[in-house]
Chains A and B, each alone.
Chain A
Amino acid sequence: MLNARISVPTSAIPGEVIEIKTLISHPMETGFRRGLDGEKMPRNILKHFQCTYLDNVVFEAEFFPAIAANPYLTFFIKATQSGELIFTWTDQNGKVTQKNRSISVQP
């Protein structure tokens, strides 16, 4: 499980556009660099990010070797009702890091 930071407002009013921020620790090794021994360092990257809100995918991203280490993503969603946001990062080997946050939406 990777170390991640997630920022979601704890409450919102229905229809409000809220900002979601995520930051995850990952080396995002490109596979093109050579180490001190002269050998190529194997590629090690995150491939996919997904955010679901009330079981619907609201944001998705695909990562490639050119993404910097510790990927930082920020995006906006419209809050409709109280529920859970699930954040899922999947690396190149299919290993999954999942975090969730809940938001209360009241008028």
Chain B
Amino acid sequence: MNTGYILHSSCWLITYAFILISINTNANETAERTLNERTLNKERSGFYFQSNNTQALQNDSFANPGLLWVDSGQQWFSKRPDNITPACQHCHNQDKKPLVGAATLYPQYDSTTKKLMNIEQRINRCRTQYQHQPPFPYESNELLSLTAYVSNLSKGMPFNVNITDNEKPFFERGRDFFYQRRGQMNLACHHCHEWNAGKKLRGDTLSQGHSNGYPIYRLEWQTLGSLHRRLRFCNTGVRAETYPLGSEEYVNLELFLAWRANQLLIETPAVRR
């Protein structure tokens, strides 16, 4: 009787073990498949590839250091450069020409220069044309602050750039830049950010290279930086020639990146490693 019971229960144990093993392998396969889907087929913000601590810092509505620039951008936005010229706020307020959602539409074709224009350049256009002031230098604290403030107004909204006939040639040049091998290492953007996204590059995890959080606070820089600064950093990393901040090449690439990130939500100011 006793032996029969033991045999019976051990049979069940073995069956349980088999079931458990098979569930386990299935779970492993599913985990692997979802990882591949995530990294290869699905667009993921750079946020996804950060450590928990960095993600927490970005989500903290007080401690996110990028908010210091958003705050000072707001001050610049409401400050008149002198007694005669109006502040940004005079033209852009809740009643007329609000800038909520504006950041989702840039870079955009500009009919006067017949070139693409990103937000930084659009802000400087307003500054020279309507405020009659010298433009802010690229990467200056003032321009970074204003860009951070204006982009922050679109936080949580998806990128929505339009590629019309006007933008098309620039878009194609941007796309070619992305797939063009360059530098001593002979690498194109897509080698890291499409083929190997989600894998490790030394201590860092390669992101998909989306531009939905710019300007970003990079812990390595210890300050806020523009997308073009990051692009120069990438180009230096593969030992390629860098282009100047605000150059045509980078603005074209910026349009391609915005199009690639089209369904992703704007996170400005994002925090990255």
Seen from chain A, the residues whose Cβ lies within 8 Å of a Cβ on chain B are 3, 5, 7, 21, 23-25, 27-28, 68-70, 72
Seen from chain B, the residues whose Cβ lies within 8 Å of a Cβ on chain A are 62-63, 65, 67-69, 71-72, 222-223
Whether B68 lies near A5 (C-beta < 8 A) is yes
* Contacts A/B (CB < 8 Å), 17 sampled: A3-B71, A5-B67, A23-B62, A23-B65, A23-B67, A23-B68, A24-B68, A25-B65, A25-B68, A25-B69, A25-B72, A28-B222, A68-B222, A69-B222, A69-B223, A70-B223, A72-B65
A/B pair count, beta carbons within 8 Å: 33
In whole Å, how far is B82's beta carbon from the nearest beta carbon of chain A? 20
Whether B65 lies near A70 (C-beta < 8 A) is yes
In whole Å, how far is B15's beta carbon from the nearest beta carbon of chain A? 55
* Identity of the chain B residue whose Cβ is nearest the Cβ of A21 in the assembled complex: B62
* Identity of the chain B residue whose Cβ is nearest the Cβ of A68 in the assembled complex: B222
How far, in angstroms, from A21 to B71 measured CA to CA in the complex?
A: 16
In whole Å, how far is A34's beta carbon from the nearest beta carbon of chain B? 16
Residues of A within 8 A of B72 (CB): 3, 25
Whether B63 lies near A27 (C-beta < 8 A) is no
Residues of B within 8 A of A5 (CB): 62, 67-68, 71
How far, in angstroms, from A7 to B72 measured CA to CA in the complex?
A: 17
In whole Å, how far is B56's beta carbon from the nearest beta carbon of chain A? 13
Q: Given A3-B71, A24-B68, 19 other A-B contacts at CB below 8 A?
A: A3-B68, A5-B67, A5-B68, A5-B71, A7-B62, A21-B62, A23-B65, A23-B68, A25-B65, A25-B68, A25-B69, A25-B72, A69-B65, A69-B222, A70-B65, A70-B68, A70-B222, A72-B63, A72-B65
How far, in angstroms, from A7 to B62 measured CA to CA in the complex?
A: 8
How far, in angstroms, from A24 to B71 measured CA to CA in the complex?
A: 11
* Identity of the chain B residue whose Cβ is nearest the Cβ of A2 in the assembled complex: B68
How far, in angstroms, from A17 to B143 measured CA to CA in the complex?
A: 40
Q: Which of A23, A24, A68 is the most central at the interface, judged by chain B CB atoms within 10 Å of its CB?
A: A23
How far, in angstroms, from A27 to B196 measured CA to CA in the complex?
A: 34
How far, in angstroms, from A32 to B67 measured CA to CA in the complex?
A: 28
* Identity of the chain A residue whose Cβ is nearest the Cβ of B141 in the assembled complex: A25
In whole Å, how far is B218's beta carbon from the nearest beta carbon of chain A? 11
How far, in angstroms, from A5 to B72 measured CA to CA in the complex?
A: 11
How far, in angstroms, from A49 to B65 measured CA to CA in the complex?
A: 18
In whole Å, how far is A59's beta carbon from the nearest beta carbon of chain B? 17
In whole Å, how far is A73's beta carbon from the nearest beta carbon of chain B? 10
